[in-house]
Amino acid sequence: MKPLIGIPTRTIKDLDAFPSYGIRATFTRALELAGGAPVLIPLQLSEESLRAIFARVDGLFLAGGIDVHPREFGENVEPFCGEIDTDRDAAEMNLTRWALDQDTPVFGICRGIQSLNIAAGGSLYQDIAAQVPAALPHPHRKGNPYNLRAHAIEIARDSRLARALGATRLEVNSLHHQALKQIAPGFRVSARAPDGIVEGIEAAQKKFAVGVQFHPEWMLDDDARMLKLFQEFVAACDRGSAP
Ligand code: MN
């Protein structure tokens, strides 16, 4: 049986009081290509329902998206913070904390590395340009393809990320305006951009708790190493395999 990979969705505002929930298909495609069976998790569920879903999935995937409310890391909303989806925040914070508590594999991309870090007790820069003025440009520029290599990353040689990718230096895309500030207890930095911005974290004591700030799902078709990262995650979710 393929491992079930739960993915908290995002709010898509409709014209009436009831929104839709979805997630970009690049993520479900990557997870399925890697051998997983992705399952979308709606928002605004009761804790009982969310726990029932969590108990049945083999791994948790945290996708890209808009900003997490800064109250989740004890800060006020600064003027340079972006759009917020508090229903998504609530589901992701609960699910990620349960995953870390029970050592359910968790993999986060972009907003996902940020949610993972916050749920584990870390914090963010609410805007790189405003708060780290010496940083390279990290946000997406309108018109650029999403697989455009924007900057290099240096990957720690002894990290899970380096083993999965088979590389310690990579050119990656960059589609984010926020970045990790305080790294959560139990996590280490696995990759940085040349300006010091954190591009990867992982928890050494967990079966698989990994986040990346770049978007491997947009580079699958031009760099075979990117799929390996998803395959490592899905393999860790396979309860039938040896640890
Ligand atoms: Mn970047």
For 191-209, write each residue's pLDDT tens digit: 999 999 999 999 999 999 9
**Residue 241 binned pLDDT confidence (cut-offs 50, 70, 90):** low
pTM, to two decimals: 0.97
Distance 199 CA to ligand 1 centre (A): 6
Looking at the chain, which runs of residues are DSSP E strands?
Answer: 4-8, 10-12, 20-22, 37-41, 59-62, 106-109, 124-125, 151-155, 169-172, 179-180, 188-192, 198-202, 209-212
Distance 196 CA to ligand 1 centre (A): 10
Residue 60: phi, psi to the nearest 5? -120, 130
Paired sense of beta strands 198-202 and 188-192, if any: antiparallel
Catalytic residues, by residue number, are 110, 215, 217
For 34-47, write each residue's pLDDT tens digit: 999 999 999 999 99
- Residue 14 contacts by C-beta under 8 Å, 6 or more apart in sequence? 20
Q: Is residue 163 within 8 Å of residue 104, measured between CB atoms?
A: no
d(CA 134, CA 92): 31
d(CA 232, CA 235): 5
Distance 168 CA to ligand 1 centre (A): 16
